[in-house]
């Protein structure tokens, strides 16, 4: 692991200067899970929760989260995203909502934070929409699973 890039040589926080980097095609994919009760999972699947269609609302929230990442993460660059895809699926056997987000752009810095934020915001939206009937909801396993482009090259999680 290298030095922490968001600190200067005196330990002060800084936004990384990417102006000398070449713009390249970059993408990142993140995943996460929301574990709910079997009853909650059935209501999500049937779209019978009082707040509406959990999957659709969480999908839109995830896309919005990716677009707002620099407003939430202090030293994150504002990026002109070319594409954001957020997919949610119900795993009935595990009573889980699985979330995958992929962000793409042509730019000077990666989109890992945008993909991770999309998953986190989608997961929090599932929680918010279901909390009135299930206080034991758990958000788990949010992680980067793949990235491509940039100087550091490609990454694929095990």
pLDDT digits (tens, 9 = 90+) for 53-100: 999 999 999 999 999 999 999 989 999 999 999 999 999 999 999 999
Q: Which residues are catalytic?
A: 128
Cα–Cα distance, 157 to 100 (Å, whole number)? 14
Per-residue pLDDT averaged across 116-141, rounded?
97
- Residue 122: DSSP 8-state: H
What integer pLDDT is reported at residue 155 of this predicted model?
96
Per-residue pLDDT averaged across 18-40, rounded?
94
91 is written with which tokens?
A: 């795993």
> What's the order of all strands across the beta sheet hosting 155-156?
83-91, 96-107, 24-35, 138-148, 155-156
Long-range CB contact pairs, 50-55, < 8 A, 24+: 50/132, 51/129, 52/129, 54/97, 54/125, 54/126, 54/129, 54/130, 55/88, 55/90, 55/97
What integer pLDDT is reported at residue 103 of this predicted model?
98
């Amino acid at each position: 692991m290298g030095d922490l890039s968001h600190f200067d040589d005196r330990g002060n926080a800084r936004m990384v200067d990417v102006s000398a980097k070449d713009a390249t095609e970059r993408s990142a994919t993140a995943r996460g899970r929301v574990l709910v009760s079997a009853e909650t999972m059935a209501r999500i699947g049937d779209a019978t929760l009082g707040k509406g269609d959990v999957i659709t609302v969480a999908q839109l929230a995830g896309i919005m989260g990716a677009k707002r990442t620099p407003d939430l993460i202090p030293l994150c660059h504002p990026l002109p995203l070319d594409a954001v895809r957020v997919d949610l699926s119900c795993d009935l056997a595990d009573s889980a909502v699985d979330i995958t987000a992929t962000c793409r752009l042509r730019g000077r810095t990666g989109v890992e934070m945008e993909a991770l934020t999309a998953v986190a915001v989608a997961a929090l939206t599932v929680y918010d929409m279901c909390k009135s009937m299930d206080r034991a909801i758990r958000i788990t396993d949010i992680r980067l699973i793949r990235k491509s482009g940039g100087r550091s090259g490609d990454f694929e999680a095990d």
